[in-house]
Structure 1
Amino acid sequence: MDKKLFDRLVKSAEQMVAIEKGEMHPTPNAVTQFRIPDVKKIRASTHLRQNEFADLLGVSTALVQSWETARRVPNGPALKLLNIIEQQPQIIETLRTV
């Protein structure tokens, strides 16, 4: 590993420990937060049952249930698709045909 990269990794790990101990506070622009969609609200707005919604997304009903109860967090293509459905609910009609 490149020494410069290694030094940066060590420095970031040290900063993480200092933040966890309350010895340091990150600047707001250094913190990245991702909004997790409310899957239950999105599904309810489509008037679909969990199994129907799961079929449209190409995932299992158990996974939709896990998202809705916050046991799991949507990621990858499913997260993108959920965000699209949230912003453009009419896309559901297109999903029904594919």
Structure 2
Amino acid sequence: MEVKDPVFELLSSLEQIVLTRDSLKPAVQVSTPSLPEPQRLRELTGMQVDEFARVMGVSVSSVKSWEARRTRPSATAQKLMKLLHANPYLGRQLLD
């Protein structure tokens, strides 16, 4: 029996909701915009490094490492960043 990560499953479900909702909108762009860099996304959401780290569920040093391009976010973190990019206010909601 395969054991699945509940956080990954939750983020996958949320991603499907966001993508389904977005697919109902009229297509304006031909291609999907790429995920912004972590620092750009953090600035877009108006969060400090420590707040962004809390929302992402990682350490401040991990966020700094992503922003310096020394490491890449995990697949789960990338999915959460897609959700934050689709709804920049989600980060503030998760902090409350």
TM-score by length of 2: 0.59
Q: Quote the residue 2:73 is aligned against.
A: 74
Q: Which amino acid aligns with 2:69?
A: A
Q: Which structure carries more relative contact order (alpha carbon 8 Å, separation 6+)? A: 2
Deviates more, 1:59-68 or 1:37-46: 37-46
Query: CA separation in 2, counterparts of 1:53 and 1:78?
Result: 11
- Contiguous gaps of at least 5 residues in structure 2: 1-33
CA displacement at 1:93 relative to structure 2 = 3.0
Determine the C-alpha separation between the residues in 1 that align with 2:73 and 2:36: 8
Runs of 4+ in structure 1 over 4 Å off:
none
Gaps of at least 5 residues in structure 1 are 1-34
Aligned residues: 63
TM-score normalised by the chain length of structure 1? 0.58
Give the structure 1 partner of residue 54 of structure 2.
Answer: 55
Structure 1 Cα separation of the partners of residues 68 and 35 of structure 2:
13
Conservation of the 8 A alpha-carbon contact between 2:54 and 2:95: no
Residue 92 (structure 1) aligns with: 91
Three-state SS of the structure 1 residue aligned to 2:69 is: coil
Q: Distance in 1 between matches of 2:47 and 2:62?
A: 15
1:38 to partner: Cα distance: 0.5
In the aligned structure 1, how far is the partner of 2:62 from the partner of 2:88?
20
The two structures, once aligned, show a CA RMSD in angstroms of 1.5
